[in-house]
Amino acid sequence: MQSQPEDETVAGIDIGSRSIELVVLNPDGLLRSAKAPTTFDPLGQCQRLMEGIDGSRIIATGYGRKLFAESFRQVNVSTITEIQAYSLGARFLYPEAKMVLDIGGQDTKVISLSETGKVLKFEMNDRCAAGTGKFLEFMATALQIPLESFGEFALRSDRRIQISSMCTVFAESEATSLMARGERPENIAMGLHLAIVQRTFAMLRRVGLATPLVFAGGVAQNPCVIKLLEEQLGQPLKVPENPDMVGALGAALYGENYRTVDV
Amino acid sequence: MSNSHDAMWEKLNLDLEAHQGLLEVLGKFYGDIYMSQQGRLRGMEYLDFVLSEVHGLRIKELQDAKAAGKKVVGTFCVFVPEEIVLAAGGIQVGLCAGAEIGTGEAEKVLPRNTCALIKSFVGFKLARLCPFIESCDLIVGETTCDGKKKAYEIFSDYSPVYVMEIPQMKNACDRELWKSEVLRFKSQVEEVTGNKITADALKDAIHLVNERRRVLQRLNRLRAAVPTPISGRDVLLINQISFYDDPVRFTSKIGELCDELQDRVKSGDGIVPDGTVRLMLSGCPMAVPNWKMPFIIESSGAVVVGEESCIGTRNTRDLVDEDSMSLDGMIDAIVDRYMRIDCACFTPNTERLDNIVKMALDLGVKGVIHYGLSFCQPYLMEAYKVEKALAGAGIPMLAIETDYSMEDVEQLKTRVEAFVEMTR
Amino acid sequence: MLDISELQDNDKKVAGIYCLFAPVEIVRAAGAIPVSLCGKREQPIADAERTLPPNLCPLIKSSYGYAVTDSCPFFSASDFLIGETTCDGKKKMYEFLGRIKPLHLMHLPYSASEPHALKFWHEEILRLGGFVEESTGLEINRDHLGFQIRIHNKIRKLIRKISRFQAAEKPPISGLDMMSVMETKSFFVNPEEYISLLLEFIAEMEPIAASGFSPFQQDAPRVLLTGCPVAKGCEKTLRMIEECGGAVVCMENCTGVKGLDLLVDENEEDPFLALARRYLQIPCSCITPNDGRLALLDQLIDEYRIDAVVDHTWQCCHTYNIESRIVGDFVEKIHGLPFIHVETDYSNSDVEQLRTRIEAFLEMARWNSSACAQMRKPYTQA
């Protein structure tokens, strides 16, 4: 505790398939947070993000954590899984949280937490695009709507239609045929959002639905998904201000706890 | 493996080129998964040798035995009483396969949505890559799961299969059914081998198989020591080889290995760093060369200290009672012992839940990983109950559903790592 | 179809059954009413998937879903359930189902043709008898059992007779309608009243059949639908075949004629043994080997002058799915007929893909039928 200031900083970095998030903490609190797209050069992107934070502890999480740990050997690096990271981050932001839902770019995670915040059970969907952010991205492109406004666009629907295809590729064909039949694109968008929420709900039920439910990850910025989930849940979700930073935050917190335990 | 076996393989109608390819891939995998381990027991050299010669010298031994008049019986299930085969002077070998081989061939006759183990043994046969199948004088199937039951019908287009009816329940009438099936099997084996089974021969056979079970039980006790003295991978290999190797030699060699293990336990030598999470595996069996799951687990900060499946305690836990002197008494003892197998094909199979919980508590593991092969309905459906039972005992469980492919290795690693983090 | 009030207004116990293997004569002889609880709709499946793995036959999930949500009036009306160790999925599902209502599980021997099987199944039928007696408080009287055997034989013969209307050159009703008629055999309270209804129906049908009326086109390929059961709610494939111009003139499945030709020997001294003998012959794919199915298909292909065979199986039904190859080889090689295997579930997500396949298949069947026209028995022109 009496060491130089650099030793007191802890960084959490969440290297995902689409974006990389960084959170740096020191005993006073949040020092820095930053985000960058992963691109084809994730390590280069990490390098850029981490400028100026040498010497501190880094905890890496996400899809690219092993790659990061192997490449940044000169720094003090450990890794934890996204499950651990998201649960720590969510619990920190919402101390009463019982469940965490993370719909990311390429996977979806559901985590149930104990009274003390420990991971009780988890389930992941990382083999199929349907039910992940990829599905929405794909569909937004098909309907030629920018991804960031896809949720709002869907909220302008005037009726709910059911998309029956389970598969992302076929759902796109279905959306196209609906367009050809004159269906309003807003309604098609709503149907697609409904599909992803239905899949998510099945996962939530299998793990054991519990509230308060923290909704994190990139897709938590989609107002339509939030609305539909809250409808199904029957109560409001806990959505952090920066839902895609929760993993990096959790990783940094892990580093902090670890360091405190050491001392 | 030397090409001096080519002549033998050719006689067995193997596809030599493809077989050579298979052996090379197998060798590489083995190197990555097994030989890369640090601090292995010297006794494991025997297993390395047997594995390296599993299609070579072992097959030659079988061929020599056949030339001397012995018969080889191939089986796919721990239900088939090896004691009967041995008592008739036969040799029993396990034909369950653990590699994605001949999948293209297999998928011509089986639906793609079939368990990997079944597709594998059918694939091995159709692609002409298994010298064990080709060496069998009698191939025995059983009415265990739907997949196997119907797959044998397809398989019998290529090689005749004698099917034993395994009871689905464990009431008194089911025991009688099983007994009649054991006796029918006995007649079949006597016919194929040309030898009548005598009380003396059966007594010796029972003792022999019990001794093999005992040595594996001893291994299970020693491997559970803290710090873990032998990897889960190595114990899995030992169990897998028990289905292929000569029982007398195998028992003796593993006995030696256990002695070595005992010394290691005494001196407190472990093969994993302190704090490595101790886990147990449960569920579907892993046939040679399926080493995927233990490899993933042991590369994720944990070590496997027990297996509940057919290549673990389900196979070795129970002995055949050796008290009886009469043939009928011995048959009864065999019937009783085999009825205790707690495969998920049985219903309601509540004893399996008790066995798993007891085993997990005895081993003091931090968690249980339930391994289900995709499309294996019995085990996948039981996983729900196993989890509840373990939760009741305060033990977390991770349910994995996978196949033989390497596509999902990273995803599985993430799950296992997350589970290990959870259990710390 | 059966009105639920008929069940509820009765003072008799209701036995929920899930399979053709359940000996209904025993149930009725002990004073209970058997009713089929097989789930036919997609709706309850989501709830079933909280406990059962999603990769499971939709019929099993649907059945369990109804039970666990208590959303099926027939399930609610059931006092006890009867299950059998048929397929793995059902076998393990019954373990969960038995927690909701009392369930008696019959152990079906798979190697039905082996000597041990009959003796074993005979004992299982006796054991079932004991269970039903205990549940109803009524003893099974041998004479009454004999009466139930005779009356159910009669019912089987009548329904089989009804099915034969479709063997005509101009089938008088659609396969979809015939399916609805066939479904009634699992849902009647009073056997004698049911027989009257069947006789009435036959009387109505005879003139229609004689008139040569048919809802089908002249060149509609005559399709045999085999495989897993289909019923109202999950009749997607059958409907599709007929929408695409085919005529489903025969169904070789549990909903259709499977087992209708198997009568219980009324002269056998021990009625329980007679029942065992009959029920063990049901050609379900859970039996190994299932030679009875090929024999039945052989007979039906000739009887109904089939042009094409559609083997419809539910997703994850391992036994029928693996057996499909054996059936396909038989149909194609022995009978030289076009064959297609369709694997689907209760959802509508694959309707278009199904349509494409079936349309293409029927095109093939038409071509085949006209090409083989010379080789077939001449039709008597109406």
All structural domains of chain A with their residue ranges: 6-83+245-262, 98-239
Chain centre distance of CA C65: 21
Q: How far is A84 from chain B (nearest CA, A)?
A: 7
Closest CA to C338 of C295, C372, C296, C304: C372
Q: What is the band of A54 on the pLDDT scale with cuts at 50, 70, 90?
A: low
Q: How many CB atoms lie within 10 A of CB B11?
A: 11
C-alpha to C-alpha distances, B116 to B106, B112, B413, nearest whole angstrom: 10, 9, 20
Q: How many CB atoms lie within 10 A of CB C298?
A: 14
From CA B343, how far away is CA B140, in angstroms rounded? 18
Phi, psi torsion values for C55, nearest 5 degrees: -80, 75
Is there a contact between C33 and C14 (Cβ–Cβ < 8 Å)? Answer: yes
Q: What is the band of A118 on the pLDDT scale with cuts at 50, 70, 90?
A: confident
Which helix (H) or strand (E) segment holds residue B163: the answer is strand B162-164
| All structural domains of chain C with their residue ranges | 11-138, 145-375
State the sign of the Cα–Cα–Cα–Cα dihedral C302, C304, C305, C311.
negative
Residues on chain B touching A120 (C-beta within 8 angstroms): 396, 422
**Which runs of consecutive H residues, i.e. helices, occur in A94-167?**
133-142, 150-155
Condensed to tens digits (0 to 9), the pLDDT of residues A199-240 reads 898 889 888 889 999 999 989 999 999 999 999 999 999 999
State the sign of the Cα–Cα–Cα–Cα dihedral C62, C67, C68, C70.
positive
Closest CA to A203 of A191, A215, A192: A215
Per the DSSP assignment, residues forming a β-bridge with C33 are: C14
In chain C, the largest separation of any two C-alpha atoms, in whole Å, equals 62
CATH number given to A6-83+245-262: 3.30.420.40
Among the four given CATH numbers 1.25.40.340, 3.40.50.300, 3.30.300.30, 3.40.50.11900, the one describing domain C145-375: 3.40.50.11900
* The one-letter amino acid at C302: D
- Return the SS3 of B142: strand
Average pLDDT over residues B306-318: 96
Closest CA to C83 of C142, C5, C23, C166: C23
pLDDT of amino acid B39: 87
Under DSSP, the state recorded for A161 is -
CA angle A66, A71, A77 (to 5 degrees): 65
Q: Which residues in chain C (221-260) have CB-CB distances under 8 A to chain B?
A: none
Closest CA to B297 of B417, B418, B404, B402: B417
Closest CA to B115 of B128, B132, B96, B131: B96
Q: How far is A25 from chain B (nearest CA, A)?
A: 22
Q: How far is C320 from chain B (nearest CA, A)?
A: 9
pLDDT of amino acid C3: 74
| CATH topology match: C11-138 vs C145-375 | yes
Closest CA to B404 of B68, B24, B84, B124: B124
Q: Which residue has the higher pLDDT, B89 or C371?
A: B89
Which helix (H) or strand (E) segment holds residue A223: the answer is helix A223-233
Is there a contact between B195 and B260 (Cβ–Cβ < 8 Å)? Answer: no
Give the DSSP letter string of C295-316: HHHHHHHHHTT-SEEEEEEETT
Q: How many CB atoms lie within 10 A of CB C329?
A: 14
pLDDT of amino acid C372: 54
Q: How far is A71 from chain B (nearest CA, A)?
A: 18
CA angle C302, C305, C311 (to 5 degrees): 85
Closest CA to C127 of A253, B172, B248: B172
- Number of A/C CB contacts below 8 angstroms equals 15
Provide the pairing of β-strand A29-37 with A19-26. Answer: antiparallel
From CA B301, how far away is CA B279, in angstroms rounded? 10
C-alpha to C-alpha distances, B52 to B6, B30, B32, nearest whole angstrom: 15, 9, 14
The domain made up of A98-239 has a fold known as Nucleotidyltransferase; domain 5 (3.30.420)
Task: List all residues 6 or more positions away from B36 whose beta carbon is below 8 Å from its beta carbon.
Answer: none
- Return the SS3 of A78: strand
Task: List all residues 6 or more positions away from C294 whose beta carbon is below 8 Å from its beta carbon.
Answer: C326, C327, C330
pLDDT of amino acid A101: 96
C-alpha to C-alpha distances, B123 to B96, B155, B161, C324, C348, nearest whole angstrom: 11, 10, 16, 19, 34
Contact A127 B417 (CB under 8 A): no
pLDDT of amino acid B122: 97
* The one-letter amino acid at C328: G
Q: Which of B126, B145, B149 to mutate against chain C (most C CBs within 10 Å)?
A: B149
- Number of B/C CB contacts below 8 angstroms equals 122
Q: In what order do the strands lie in the sheet with B367-373?
A: B302-307, B277-283, B367-373, B397-402
Phi, psi torsion values for A20, nearest 5 degrees: -120, 130
Mean pLDDT of chain A: 87
pLDDT of amino acid A260: 46
Q: Which of C88, C285, C342 to mutate against chain B (most B CBs within 10 Å)?
A: C88
Contact B153 C120 (CB under 8 A): no
Q: Is the pLDDT of residue B212 over 80?
A: yes
pLDDT of amino acid A164: 75
Each of the 382 residues of chain C gets a pLDDT tens digit; together they read 567 777 777 789 999 999 999 999 999 999 999 999 999 999 999 999 999 999 999 999 999 999 999 999 999 999 999 999 999 999 999 999 999 999 999 999 999 888 889 999 999 999 999 999 999 999 999 999 999 999 999 999 999 999 999 999 999 999 999 999 999 999 999 999 999 999 999 999 999 999 999 999 988 999 999 999 999 999 999 999 999 999 999 999 999 999 999 999 999 999 999 999 999 999 999 999 999 999 999 999 999 999 999 999 999 999 999 999 999 999 999 999 999 999 999 998 888 888 988 998 998 888 766 655 545 544 443 3
pLDDT of amino acid A261: 37
From CA C322, how far away is CA B149, in angstroms rounded? 10
* The one-letter amino acid at C316: C
Q: Is the pLDDT of residue B64 over 80?
A: yes
In residues, how long is chain B?
424
Condensed to tens digits (0 to 9), the pLDDT of residues B101-140 reads 899 999 999 999 999 999 999 999 999 999 999 999 999 9
Q: Which two tokens stand for residue C278?
A: 């009959």
Is there a contact between A11 and A254 (Cβ–Cβ < 8 Å)? Answer: no
ipTM score for this prediction:
0.92
Contact B421 A118 (CB under 8 A): no
Buried b (16+ CB within 10 A) or exposed e, A75-102: bbbebbbbbbbbbbbbbbbbeebbbbbb
Q: Is the pLDDT of residue B219 over 90?
A: yes
State the sign of the Cα–Cα–Cα–Cα dihedral C229, C136, C9, C143.
positive
Average pLDDT over residues B194-200: 97
pLDDT of amino acid A263: 27
From CA C226, how far away is CA C251, in angstroms rounded? 6
Q: What is the band of A259 on the pLDDT scale with cuts at 50, 70, 90?
A: low
Contact C349 A164 (CB under 8 A): yes
Q: Is the pLDDT of residue A105 over 90?
A: no
From CA A232, how far away is CA B91, in angstroms rounded? 61
C-alpha to C-alpha distances, B1 to B49, B260, C295, nearest whole angstrom: 10, 28, 50
Q: Is the pLDDT of residue A4 over 50?
A: no
Q: What is the band of A3 on the pLDDT scale with cuts at 50, 70, 90?
A: very low
Q: Is the pLDDT of residue B48 over 80?
A: yes
Percentage of chain A modeled with pLDDT above 70? 94
Q: In what order do the strands lie in the sheet with B162-164?
A: B91-94, B72-75, B138-142, B162-164
From CA C313, how far away is CA C343, in angstroms rounded? 5
* Residue recorded with tokens 């309604």: A187
Q: What is the band of A168 on the pLDDT scale with cuts at 50, 70, 90?
A: confident
Residues on chain A touching C50 (C-beta within 8 angstroms): 205-206
Q: What is the band of B3 on the pLDDT scale with cuts at 50, 70, 90?
A: low
User: Which architecture, in CATH terms, is C11-138?
Assistant: 3-Layer(aba) Sandwich (3.40)
C93 interfacial to chain B (CB closer than 8 Å):
yes
Per CB distance under 8 Å, which residues of A are interface residues toward B? 80-84, 118-122, 124, 126-127
C116 interfacial to chain B (CB closer than 8 Å):
yes
**Which runs of consecutive H residues, i.e. helices, occur in C214-290?**
236-243, 271-279
Q: How far is A54 from chain B (nearest CA, A)?
A: 27
